[in-house]
Amino acid sequence: MTSRHPQELPGRRIKALATLPLFHKLKGRHVVLAGASEGAVWKAELLLATGADLHVYAGDGADEFNGLLASPAEGKLTVHSRIWSSGDLSAAALAIGDIEDRAEAEGFVAAARQAGCPVNIVDKPEFCDFSFGSLVNRSPLIVAISTDGAAPVLGQAIRAKIEALLPAGLKAWAQAARDWRPAVQSRALPFPLRRAFWEKFARRALEAPAAEPNEIERNTLFSSLDHLQSTHDGRGRVTLVGAGPGDPELLTLKAVSALQSADVILYDDLVAGGVLELARREAKRMLVGKTGHGPSCRQDDINDLMVALALQGKRVVRLKSGDPGIFGRAGEEIEACNAAGIAVTLVPGISAAQGAAASLGVSLTHRDHARRLQFVTGHGRNGRLPDDLDWTALADPHATTAIYMPRATLAMFRDRVLAAGLTPHTPAIAVLRATRPDETLVTSTIAKLPERLAELPDRGPMLVLMGWSLTSAAAKSVELSITSAARPAPLPLRRYATAERLGTAPI
């Protein structure tokens, strides 16, 4: 096995964007609107809400804006009873035209661009430098949804969903953040402490959005900041996070929270790209690849890097496929952090065995066939089958076994477990890239599965599930069509009756 060094990979962290979402500060700035339709009136109301100095060129439709002229607004409205001219756009911050005639629209766009002014023509996306999204208004908290003009109704439906998810009380919390920010900034705190304060603020706002962010709430949060200041020693922390088997939707909320607060993410080759998409954009991503029987970073190098970054005050996320506590070498990394005095926490993840079982639609335990579940590794430190596996336990017909990283050693595993007494007809399934869109599997018996691994692609995380609880998932295999006589007898039901008499629930 060759080694490699941890590396920060070059390249993009953000996938392609159809448009760049921006939020314009328009208070007191000159904005031009041409048109007098109902849509133009709505655009005028929207622009006035930002505090803009809005000039509307309405031609003979100026009366359409009388309602707005009579209503107090954050901005200033001037309505001109004539059509626009090129000179009207010379000082504009934005120009919006609700213009049906294509030639006039082209002229408006040309004049705006000549003046260096971003322009929008309502319902004509080919003319637009920017677009208006569907808004969720909890100002100063604002959410904008855009489909780049492809599906406005979909955007509106998504807005309705977000409206239902964001309580109206968040408006007060967003305003409180604006009001309290100067007091936080005046303390000249290091970045990790400032971010820690605002993370506490955000958690409180989302836990109790209806609560009034009053002086009591303020004092509580600032007291926590005082504590952070008094205890801060300049060190960061390490969080070992389970990325799950691949599907980003299987991440826990706590895992997403850790990814979104990380300064540095040390991740393995096996972590799916969709998981990294959920991370904080500014976080540095470093590949510390560990692949079975392939080029891998030395564990000592990973430990040293993780500790060194934390000693610099960084919040380090060590992102591992599956669950970090199941064949993820979490124990060695915890020991390294403890030895250096670095705070370390674990965020469990969905293990590959659980993800594979869910994809297969089977339970890993079964009252008739499998009352015990065992996880074993298919290779040790030297890359070969471990010498100290309990073959008697692995040959238990009433257990389900998950074998991790067994691609190179499954044939030897098969020979040893059959020699220990396991029936060769025991169902076994190899699953490659469990829960991912390109998941692939082979169903067989443990006797024949090693020779069928060649049917799977060469690369990707693989594990093998073995046991009679898998019968329904493996039933399509030809090799299993003659195994009914080989299946072990169901576990005796009288055991459950005894448990019920004792007042306990059966397993």
Q: State the pLDDT confidence band at 415, using cuts at 50, 70 and 90.
A: very high
Phi, psi of 448 (to 5 degrees): -110, -10
Bridge partners of 144? 135
Please state the length of the chain: 507
33 neighbors 57 (Cβ within 8 angstroms): yes
Among the listed residues 263, 269, 290, 320, the single catalytic one is 290
360 neighbors 431 (Cβ within 8 angstroms): yes
Please give, one letter per residue, the 3-state secondary structure of 96-156: EECCCCHHHHHHHHHHHHHCCCCEEECCCHHHCCCCCCEEEEECCEEEEECCCCCCHHHHH
- The Cα-based distances of 228 to 192, 196, 216, 501 in angstroms read 10, 8, 19, 54
Residue 304 is classified by DSSP as H
Among the listed residues 88, 263, 268, 323, the single catalytic one is 268
pLDDT (0 to 100) of residue 400: 96
Q: Is 448 a catalytic residue?
A: no
Is residue 503 scored above 60 in pLDDT? Answer: no
CB-based burial, 72-92: b 16+ in 10 Å, e otherwise: ebebebebbeebbeeebbeeb
CA distance 127 to 143: 24
CB-based burial, 413-432: b 16+ in 10 Å, e otherwise: bbebbbeeebbebbbbbbbb
Is residue 134 scored above 70 in pLDDT? Answer: yes
pLDDT (0 to 100) of residue 485: 47
Residue with tokens 């309705």, as numbered in its chain? 160
Is residue 200 scored above 50 in pLDDT? Answer: yes
243 neighbors 271 (Cβ within 8 angstroms): yes
Q: State the pLDDT confidence band at 68, using cuts at 50, 70 and 90.
A: very high
Write the pLDDT tens digit of every residue in 324-369. 999 889 999 999 999 999 999 999 999 999 999 999 999 999 888 8
Is residue 11 scored above 80 in pLDDT? Answer: no
pLDDT (0 to 100) of residue 483: 47
Write the pLDDT tens digit of every residue in 216-231. 999 999 999 998 888 8
CA distance 242 to 350: 7
Is residue 495 scored above 60 in pLDDT? Answer: no
3-state secondary structure of 70: helix
Q: 326 CB contacts (<8 Å, ≥6 apart)? A: 351, 375, 404
What is the average pLDDT value for the chain, to the nearest integer?
88
Q: State the pLDDT confidence band at 189, using cuts at 50, 70 and 90.
A: confident
Beta strands in 160-300 (DSSP E): 237-242, 264-267, 284-287, 296-297
Q: Which of 351, 112, 382, 342 is nearest to 244 (CA)?
A: 351
Write the pLDDT tens digit of every residue in 461-490. 899 999 999 988 876 655 555 444 466 766
Is residue 43 scored above 60 in pLDDT? Answer: yes
pLDDT (0 to 100) of residue 488: 72
β-pairing, 284-287 with 264-267?
Answer: parallel
CB count in 10 Å sphere of residue 207: 8
341 neighbors 249 (Cβ within 8 angstroms): no
Is residue 496 scored above 80 in pLDDT? Answer: no
Is residue 1 scored above 70 in pLDDT? Answer: no
3-state secondary structure of 224: helix
| Residue 278, token pair as written in the block | 């959920």
Helix 215-231, helix 170-185: angle, nearest 10: 40
Helices (H), 421-490: 449-452, 471-474
Q: State the pLDDT confidence band at 272, using cuts at 50, 70 and 90.
A: confident
CA distance 252 to 237: 20
Q: 222 CB contacts (<8 Å, ≥6 apart)? A: 183
Phi, psi of 273 (to 5 degrees): -60, -35
Is residue 440 scored above 90 in pLDDT? Answer: yes
CA distance 239 to 315: 8
CA-based Rg of the chain, rounded to a whole angstrom? 31
Q: Is 129 a catalytic residue?
A: no
Is residue 433 scored above 60 in pLDDT? Answer: yes
Beta strands in 378-470 (DSSP E): 399-404, 427-432, 440-445, 462-466
CA distance 147 to 491: 57
DSSP letters, 471-502, are HHHHTT-GGGGG-GGGSPPPPPTHHHHHHHHT
| Residue 354, token pair as written in the block | 């659980």
pLDDT (0 to 100) of residue 291: 55
CB count in 10 Å sphere of residue 473: 20
Q: 85 CB contacts (<8 Å, ≥6 apart)? A: none
Q: Report the amino acid identity of residue 170.
A: L
CB count in 10 Å sphere of residue 133: 18
3-state secondary structure of 243: coil
Highest mean pLDDT among 54-58, 290-294, 500-504: 54-58
